[in-house]
Amino acid sequence: MTDLFRLDDRNVIVIGAASGIGEAVALGAARQGARVGCLDVRAPDCARVAERIRAAGGRADEGVVDITDAAGTDAALRRAADTWGGLDAVVCTPSINVRKSILTYTDEEFERVVTLNLKGSFNVLRAAGRLMTARRTGSIVLFSSIRSQVVEPGQAVYAATKAGIVQLVRTAAAEFGPSGVRVNAVAPGVVETPLTAPITANPTWHSAYAAKSVFNRWARADEMVGPTLFLVSEAASFVTGTVLFADGGWTAVDGRFTPPGM
């Protein structure tokens, strides 16, 4: 059964590979036998991750891509596909958040969050979908969030983009499925990454979020590797159009009070 989860001789692109969840997924895919394309806007950090893979005996290339640039995203994925003879999987992790109330949000902040999170994910989905549907095989994994389902003050625009990603995934699954291409999303809870560093630096805020998990802690970036690679692998060969919540029970548990006698 372990062979179902192996990625030997698979060509896997990880966008956002320079740090955080993307870095962890790139390293994990290489350990499972994949040839990994590490892409990010930060070339030096991306090269560092690719070199870590090669130093451990894995296969990796690195490149630069700005997913807000549709033409550049198309070119980067097509270049990788031409070099490798096709893409088996594309994972897209980047996002940003500006935590402000709706009444104080600026047009520039709105554009910045929506452009990266939603338009960027769409650009990757479209570029990968064009290549994979032509080959009639492949798996695309985008990153949503628990914020696609539950919100709090200051999360309006970020949450809207993450909910939008869910609907992009579902629609793409319906459109690409007849061509043998699967499309899914991972929805983390709170994960210790550079994106969440301002929260982890605030003990009260950090503890409040930890308490929302049934494990009373945050996730590590490497704990997103298993859910992601499951969706990439043959173990998920009949899984498409779904959202895999890797949130420590956050969206399942309505309150933490245990009634007497339980």
Query: Which of the 8 DSSP states describes residue 218?
Result: P
Whole-number Å distance between alpha carbons of 134 and 180: 10
105 tagged catalytic: no
DSSP state of 49: H
Closest among 179, 180, 183, 159 to 170, alpha carbons compared: 183
Q: Let me know: does 184 contact 141? Beta carbons within 8 Å.
A: yes
Which is catalytic among the residues 122, 158, 176, 250? 158
DSSP secondary structure, 110-162, as one string: HHHHHIIIIIIHHHHHHHHHHHHHHHT-EEEEEE--GGGT---TT-HHHHHHH
Rounded to whole angstroms, what are the CA distances from 69 to 64, 126, 197?
A: 12, 12, 27
State the catalytic residues. Answer: 158
